[in-house]
């Protein structure tokens, strides 16, 4: 695999955390070459395209994209570029690991949940229309093909990583056909993996269980909307959005991004926590077979957090992004 990767700088805190992460990757000797593109609102205002054609071409050549957050207008304007990228490249598996870090004080210890969120259909298919001026329809699409591949990926991951249980999250008591299909496919696929416990739970119950007894969850597989919401919840269990990385995998293409958005409330202040994006970069290094480099970066982050004097404000500290970046590079 090529060591050249595509990088999207994004909006809000995107450019700040991208600069920090690329500096750390270089200091760790990741041996990567970057094709860097500005994308999003600022790029649109400057050059008239949200994502320049060359940026797509670069991803299509390199197959690996490190993408920082992009702002999406609420209720109007262009469709989410994040959703568009996932659909265009069929990045169907959104994997979001939420793991407690001893150094970060939270309500629970030992949270270790890996969420597999289906990334291409459900209500995110974007099939919406106004029936009349007071009635909007949004179509939820669930197919056997897309359900089967995400469920199989979750079980395969459980086997590879020595995990014990996969929980299917749905609302099949109400959406009997769509969520019913997802749940049925889950149990069909689960029969191929008798060594892994398979269970299903209704999404509202899961929301409550996650904040009461999160340690009961191991691998979770769910549809697009529930996965989007519940994974932000799991970030809250481990110390916030600044700590939750993700990968978006499809057939041949891989995109790595933090779960959080462009955080306009803190953009430009130099205080964003780059850890979630850095850990996404570590998932990328592992995807590229650079496991040793990823492990070294993870160790340096753990040491800085454990030492505790250089933390960004979201973790209760006063450090800037640049100071935190320097502390990690010093450890490397």
Residues from 235 through 294 that contact ligand NAI (CB under 6 A): 241-242, 257, 260-266, 272-273, 276
Residue 53 or 265 having the CB closest to ligand NAI: 265
DSSP state of 141: B
Cβ-closest position to ligand NAI? 261
Q: Which of 72, 94, 224, 231 binds ligand NAI (CB under 6 A)?
A: 72
Binding of ligand NAI by 71 (CB under 6 A) = yes
The residue assigned the tokens 């395209």 is 49
Both tokens of 48, joined, read 């008239």
> Least Å distance between CB 193 and ligand NAI?
30
Binding of ligand NAI by 325 (CB under 6 A) = no
CB 38 within 8 A of CB 6: no
Q: What angle do the packed helices 203-212 and 224-238 form, to 10 degrees? A: 10
Q: Which helix (H) or strand (E) holds 136?
A: strand 135-138
Piece in contact with ligand NAI (CB under 6 A), picked from 53-61, 68-76, 92-100, 108-116: 68-76
CB 37 within 8 A of CB 51: yes
Residue 114 or 243 having the CB closest to ligand NAI: 243
| Active site residue ranges | 124, 171, 204, 228, 232
Number of residues that bind ligand NAI (CB under 6 A): 20
The closest of 39, 27, 113 to 69, measured between CA atoms, is: 39
Q: What is the Cα–Cα distance from 27 to 24, expressed in whole angstroms?
A: 5
Piece in contact with ligand NAI (CB under 6 A), picked from 28-36, 43-51, 63-71, 295-303: 63-71
CB 163 within 8 A of CB 157: yes
Residue ranges binding ligand NAI (CB under 6 A): 13, 69-72, 82, 241-242, 257, 260-266, 272-273, 276, 314
């Amino acid at each position: 695999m090529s060591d050249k990767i595509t990088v999207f700088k994004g909006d809000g805190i995107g450019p700040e955390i991208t600069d920090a992460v690329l500096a750390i990757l270089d200091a760790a000797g990741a041996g990567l070459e970057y094709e860097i593109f500005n994308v999003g609102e600022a790029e649109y205002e400057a050059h008239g395209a949200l994502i320049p054609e060359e940026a797509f071409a670069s991803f299509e050549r390199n197959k690996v994209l490190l993408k920082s957050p992009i702002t999406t207008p609420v209720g109007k304007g262009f469709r989410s570029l994040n959703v568009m990228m996932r659909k265009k490249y069929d990045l169907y598996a959104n994997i979001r690991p939420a793991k407690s870090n001893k150094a970060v004080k939270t309500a629970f210890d030992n949270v270790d949940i890996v969420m597999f969120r289906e990334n291409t259909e459900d209500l995110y298919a974007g099939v919406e229309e106004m029936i009349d001026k007071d009635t909007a329809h949004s179509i939820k699409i669930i197919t056997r093909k897309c359900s089967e591949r995400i469920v199989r990926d979750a079980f395969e991951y459980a086997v590879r990583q020595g995990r014990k249980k996969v929980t299917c999250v749905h609302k099949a008591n109400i959406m009997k056909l769509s969520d019913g299909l997802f749940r049925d496919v889950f149990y069909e696929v689960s029969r191929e993996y008798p060594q892994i416990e398979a269970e299903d739970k209704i999404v509202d119950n899961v929301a409550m269980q996650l904040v009461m007894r999160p340690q009961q969850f191991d691998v979770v597989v769910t549809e697009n909307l529930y996965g989007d919401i519940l994974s932000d919840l799991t970030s809250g269990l481990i110390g916030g959005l600044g700590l939750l990385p993700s990968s978006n995998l499809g057939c041949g293409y891989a995109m790595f991004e933090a779960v959080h958005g462009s955080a306009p409330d803190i953009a430009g202040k130099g205080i964003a926590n780059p850890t979630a994006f850095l850990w996404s970069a570590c998932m990328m290094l592992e995807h590229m077979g650079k496991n040793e480099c990823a492990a070294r970066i993870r160790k340096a982050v753990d040491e800085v957090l454990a030492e505790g004097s250089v933390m960004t404000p979201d973790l209760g500290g006063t450090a800037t992004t640049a100071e935190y970046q320097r502390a990690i590079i010093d450890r490397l």
